[in-house]
Amino acid sequence: MNNLKKIFVGTVAAFAMLPTAALAGTYSPAGAGAAGPSTVEVKKGITLNCTLTATTNSDGTISTTVPSGTKITGISLTGGLCGAVSFSGFPYDITTLNATDVVINDVRVVGITGNCRGNLKAKLVSGVLQFSHANTIPSDPPGGSACSMQNNVSTSPTASYTYP
């Protein structure tokens, strides 16, 4: 009986050490999509008003962890000095936290006043990505000001997902 208890405890402990599985929901539309053009305010030491345009691609799924089946494949900013701000390291996986919050993972920004790299949170509500300056991308290297973006960006075709 003691040996059975030891085996049971050992088995439970082994299962507890396994990584949790990613949960996957559905994302629409599958295939290519776009965001913008929409006016956004971007900040990293200075504030710029830019027109954002992005491209996406999805296999029809979105998950809670990387890798995800939905990705941003390109982002551009235009207008005034905005063309001097660029993005690299595509594609960016889009993951979900709940029924409205999404994370754009490992965003890499090359800016006028320095670079940023990290995850950017947003909301996706009724096909509109909602960005807030409260959600920032850390400076890269650390020590500088963070990058942020604020305003609503429309998606086309209208994007939506079901939370797993």
SS3 letters for the chain? CHHHHHHHHHHHHHHHCCCCCCCEEEEECCEEEEEEEEEEEEEECEEEEEEEEEEEEECCEEECCCCCCEEEEEEEEECHHHHHCEEECCCEEEEECCCCEEEEEEEEEEECCEEEEEEEEEEEECCEEEECCCCEECECCCCCCCEEEEEEEEEECCCEECCC
- Tell me the mean pLDDT in the region 108-121: 96
Q: How confident is the model at residue 21 (pLDDT cuts 50, 70, 90)?
A: low
Reported pTM = 0.85
- Tell me the mean pLDDT in the region 87-113: 96
- Tell me the mean pLDDT in the region 150-161: 96
The pLDDT, as a whole number, for residue 13 is 40
- Please provide the average confidence, as pLDDT, over all residues in the chain: 89
**Strands 46-58 and 31-44, bridge-based pairing:** antiparallel
Structure tokens at 153: 């960006």
The pLDDT, as a whole number, for residue 96 is 95
- Taking only the tens place, the pLDDT of each residue in 42-95 is 999 999 999 999 999 999 999 999 999 999 999 999 999 999 999 999 999 999
CB–CB of 61/98 below 8 Å?
A: no
The pLDDT, as a whole number, for residue 2 is 53
- Taking only the tens place, the pLDDT of each residue in 135-153 is 999 999 999 999 999 999 9
Instruction: Decide if pLDDT at 6 tops 60.
Output: no
